Every structure is written in structure tokens, then in C-alpha cells.
């Protein structure tokens, strides 16, 4: 036996070792799989749920829109020949629609289903008939009954993170159609009614679905384009409302997960990792629910902090007189040593030292802020002289409310503490400044901050749709706003506002200007 050859027992042991390694790898993969799935699911900063009650309101407005679209159906001319009879049907116009039985509901996965059952459509069209030497012209009233339309809209996230109708499937049928004829050749028309009515029913049914497809994929998507995805809030920050994933649709709800992250305008590509609790909406009683996590508010304050606007300076006459007297008395010894600067104006610089943090609890919402306050004398023509640099810790209570489509925050000072960065003795000496500085914050600083938050930030809803009867509820790590919906503008009004200019005619006209006596052209 050669020295380099392996025995059968050695080969078996090697195979067993490989199997054990493979089994260990599989077990490790199974252990890591939940972690990998969790990390791939980015939690939303903002979540919107539309319930079946909200869908009922959308159905009412959508039904009016569908009626308007079907009234604009253009049917091609119908002409033919039966023996010596030549007929031409043109200028077909929808006069009235009765869409009494309709239904709009959610279908699990990503769908909306819209059904119209047993509807009726009244028509009027122009007739031309030539039989030997007899010629007849006039109008015909017709009606299509038992109209059934079944459409399924697929909703998805596009590349920009916007909600879109990505696909539509449509089926339309007409059970019965009849026409009322009059005139000298009424009997002839009744003889040809089978051919005419059958042709008109076919042409009309063929135009229903293309009309609804255009209405959905073009016109309704233009309304969804009005939802803010990435826009500026003010001159300092913007917000990213892009969808994180396709909508989740159940039999009763449609849930949308938005990124909900603010960013400084100077660093628009900056990402702030979300470690907050994911909002969970369980309610279905109201038409719509909007949930905001702590991350939503933290990213706003982080963006303002990075934009460098969380700082306020008060100097000279802007410093309240009572506070100025107290500050001069507190730092009398230091000021006295700087005798040429005794009458120099005071300057107070309040600057946040770290991004504020939001905490949402069932009992309420609060914001923790760490800052420092520098107090200086500013002699004219001389360098500023710093009297003190003190640290501040404050806790603000936040009242969150919704007005229209704007989410607003009203802040109020709840707790306030100052201490010296230098020594405990100086902190003790600053104790007398605690109440005056708190009053300064309440009367001078807080109004400035609330003025900045007064405008609020828009919630991602299409134009023309607003909230009413809003109720805010706090949870652990997030808050929800339950509300009803209201259409301040109709779909048609919004569509006409944003409708792109047509480049080519959608339906070329083929109606004859004058009736022809030539049977070959009828």
C-alpha cells in the first residue's frame, strides 16, 4: 500500500466531518435568519392606515369621477350594408349614466377592487339610411342595460418611493341594448335594429375598459403625484416621505410605511439610522390613522441642530431689564475688576449642545434639551469679556396636534436646571439665577421656538383631501392621530389642475360634415 493513499476508514471519517460542518453551518444560518430578516425591514418613521370607512368616502368621490369619464367615451362610427340597405351610425354621445350598484373594497396583497353592477347607459347617435332612392337622416336614442364592470387596481411603490397604480385589469360587458326608432323608415330601422344594436353594444363595451385604464394609470396617478415625497419644510430643513415598501392590504385596511425622516438642506443625502419603536396601528374605527414614531421628531431636531439654527443671541436692549440688573449684581466682582467695561452691554448666547431627544409615553410627549449659556460683556471697540459659561438641562412638554394636513407642535417649558462647568461653588452661586433664567426662557425664547414650529409639516395626502375630527393618542414610543377624511377639492378639479397638455388628439374625429347620398360612402 502506498504511503499517500487514504484508508476507507479515513475517508468515512472525512465525510462524517464534512457532514458535521455542513449541519453546523445550517444551524448557524437558521439562527441568523431571523436577525437577517429583521435588519432588512426598515422601521417607518411615519405610518398611514386607510380603513374601509375611509374607502367608502373615496368610493363616493371616485364614482363621480368614473361617471364623468364614461360620459366622455368616444365610440367609432358604425356603417354597413344589408342587401339594398346602407346605414351609417355616427356622433355617438353618452347622455346619462345610472351607476346605482357599485362597490370598492380592499383585496389582500396590493389591490383595490372596483365593481359596477347592473348599470345603465343612455346614448344618442346620428343615423343615415339609404334604401334604393329613399334617404333618411335623424337621431336615435338607445340604452345599454345590465352593464357590468369589474376592475382590479394594483398599488405599488415606484422608483421615487411614491404610491402609484402600477397595473389595472378590467372586464366590461353589456347584457342588453335597445334603440327607439322613429321617422318614415321606422320599420326599416326596426328590421336592421339587430345589426345596429349588436354592433353598438360591441363598440361601446370595447371602449369602457380603455377609458377606465386611462383614467387610472394617467389621471388618478397624476393625483397621487401631488403627495409630497421629498420636499422642503422651510429654509433650513426638508423631509423625506418616500415609501419604504409596497402597501400592505388586508380585507379591511391599507397600510403605508413612510420613511418619515427630516434632513438639513445643506446635507440632503444624509441618513439618520432609525432605532425607534415601530408604530403599530390596531384601530379601524376612524377613516384614517397616522402614526409617528420618536424617530420622526428626533430626525427633525437632529436636522435643525446640524443646520446650526438651534442658537439664540440676546444683546443690549434685547436682554430683559430685570435680568440684566440681577446678572450685573451676580457678577459684580468680575465687572468691578473690569472698571472700563462697567457700563458695557451684556450679551447672552444660548446654544443647544446636542440634538434634542423626544420621548413619547402614554402619559404625554416630552423633549429633552441640553444647552449652554454664555454671558459676556461687550465693551464698544474692545473684545468681549466672558463672565460665565453655564450648562443648562431642560425638559419641554410637547402638544402635538393636526390642523388640516399640517402636523404642528406646541412646546412648553416644564423643568429647568443650570449649573457651572467650572465648579460646584460657582453652581451654588448661580442658584439665584435659576428662576430669572427660567422666566427668560418662557417669555423670550419659547415664543421664538413655537413661532418656528407654528407652520408645521404637511402629512403625505393627495391635494384636495384633508383631515377632520382629529384625535391624538399617545403610546409607548409613538403617537397616533385618528381622523376622518374630507374632500376640499374634487378629483376632477385636481386632475384638471395638473393635467399634462396633450401632444396628439386622443380620438381622431371621423364624423362626416354633411350627409352623403353616395351609398358607397355611407
pLDDT at 192: 63
DSSP of 281-346: ----SSSEEEEEEHHHHHHHHHHHHHHT--EEEEEGGGS-HHHHHHHHHHTHHHHHHTGGGTTPPE
Helix (H, G, I), strand (E, B) or coil at 272: coil
pLDDT at 444: 80
pLDDT at 500: 61
pTM: 0.79
Cell triple for residue 315? 444683546
Q: What angle do CA 165, 171, 173 make, to 5 degrees?
A: 145
pLDDT at 514: 37
pLDDT at 517: 35
Query: What does the alpha-carbon distance between residue 400 and residue 132 come to, in Å, rounded to a whole number?
Result: 81
Dihedral Cα 154, 160, 163, 165, nearest 10 deg: -30
Q: How far is CA 179 from the centre of its chain?
A: 47
Largest interatomic CA distance in the chain: 123
Per-run averaged pLDDT (10 residues), the chain, 522 residues: 45 51 51 45 91 92 87 76 71 83 88 92 79 72 89 93 93 86 63 71 86 91 90 91 94 94 88 91 94 96 91 80 73 55 77 93 94 84 79 91 89 86 63 77 84 87 90 95 91 81 47 37 36
pLDDT at 352: 92
Amino acid at each position: 500500500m502506498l504511503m499517500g493513499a487514504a484508508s476507507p476508514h479515513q475517508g468515512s471519517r472525512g465525510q462524517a466531518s464534512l457532514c458535521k460542518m455542513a449541519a453546523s453551518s445550517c444551524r448557524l444560518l437558521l439562527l441568523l435568519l431571523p436577525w437577517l430578516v429583521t435588519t432588512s425591514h426598515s422601521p417607518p418613521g411615519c405610518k398611514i392606515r386607510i380603513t374601509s370607512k375611509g374607502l367608502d368616502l373615496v368610493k363616493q368621490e371616485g364614482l363621480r369621477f368614473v361617471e364623468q369619464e364614461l360620459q366622455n367615451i368616444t365610440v367609432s362610427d358604425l356603417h354597413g350594408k344589408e342587401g339594398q340597405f346602407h346605414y351609417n351610425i355616427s356622433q355617438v354621445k353618452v347622455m346619462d349614466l345610472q351607476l346605482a350598484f357599485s362597490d370598492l373594497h380592499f383585496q389582500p396583497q396590493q389591490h383595490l377592487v372596483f365593481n359596477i353592477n347592473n348599470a345603465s347607459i343612455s346614448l344618442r347617435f346620428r343615423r343615415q339610411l339609404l334604401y334604393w332612392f329613399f334617404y333618411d337622416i335623424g337621431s336615435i336614442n338607445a340604452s345599454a342595460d345590465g352593464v357590468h364592470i369589474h376592475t382590479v387596481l394594483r398599488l405599488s411603490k415606484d422608483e421615487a418611493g411614491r404610491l402609484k397604480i402600477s397595473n389595472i385589469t378590467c372586464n366590461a360587458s353589456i347584457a342588453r341594448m335597445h334603440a327607439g326608432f322613429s321617422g318614415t323608415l321606422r320599420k326599416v330601422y326596426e328590421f336592421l335594429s339587430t345589426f345596429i344594436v349588436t354592433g353598438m353594444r360591441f363598440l361601446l363595451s370595447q371602449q369602457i375598459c380603455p377609458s377606465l385604464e386611462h383614467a387610472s394609470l394617467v389621471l388618478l396617478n397624476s393625483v397621487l403625484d401631488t403627495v409630497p415625497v421629498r420636499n422642503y419644510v422651510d429654509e433650513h430643513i426638508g423631509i423625506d416621505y418616500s415609501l419604504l415598501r409596497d402597501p400592505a392590504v388586508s380585507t379591511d385596511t391599507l397600510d403605508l410605511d413612510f420613511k418619515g425622516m427630516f434632513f438639513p438642506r445643506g446635507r440632503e443625502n444624509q441618513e439618520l439610522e432609525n432605532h425607534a419603536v415601530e408604530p403599530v396601528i390596531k384601530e379601524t374605527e376612524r377613516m384614517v390613522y397616522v402614526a409617528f414614531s420618536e424617530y420622526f421628531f428626533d430626525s427633525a431636531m437632529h436636522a435643525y441642530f446640524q443646520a446650526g439654527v438651534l442658537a439664540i443671541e440676546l444683546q443690549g436692549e434685547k436682554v430683559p431689564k430685570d435680568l440684566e440688573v440681577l446678572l450685573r449684581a451676580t457678577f459684580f466682582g468680575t465687572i468691578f475688576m473690569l472698571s472700563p467695561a462697567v457700563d458695557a452691554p451684556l450679551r447672552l448666547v444660548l446654544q443647544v449642545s446636542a440634538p434634542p431627544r423626544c420621548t413619547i409615553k402614554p402619559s404625554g410627549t416630552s423633549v429633552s434639551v441640553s444647552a449652554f449659556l454664555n454671558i459676556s460683556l461687550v465693551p464698544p471697540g474692545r473684545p468681549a469679556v466672558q463672565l460665565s459659561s453655564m450648562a443648562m438641562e431642560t425638559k419641554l412638554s410637547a402638544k402635538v396636534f393636526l390642523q388640516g394636513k399640517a402636523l404642528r407642535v406646541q412646546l412648553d417649558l416644564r423643568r429647568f436646571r443650570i449649573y457651572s462647568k467650572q465648579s460646584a461653588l460657582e453652581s451654588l452661586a448661580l442658584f439665584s439665577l435659576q428662576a430669572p433664567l427660567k422666566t427668560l426662557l418662557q417669555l423670550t425664547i419659547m415664543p421664538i421656538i413655537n413661532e418656528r414650529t407654528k407652520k408645521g409639516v404637511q402629512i403625505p395626502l393627495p391635494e384636495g383631501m384633508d383631515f377632520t375630527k382629529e384625535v391624538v393618542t399617545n403610546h409607548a414610543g409613538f403617537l397616533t392621530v385618528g381622523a376622518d377624511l374630507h374632500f376640499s377639492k374634487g378629483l376632477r378639479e385636481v386632475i384638471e389642475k395638473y393635467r399634462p397638455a396633450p401632444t396628439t388628439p386622443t380620438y381622431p374625429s371621423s364624423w362626416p360634415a354633411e350627409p352623403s347620398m353616395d351609398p358607397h360612402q355611407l
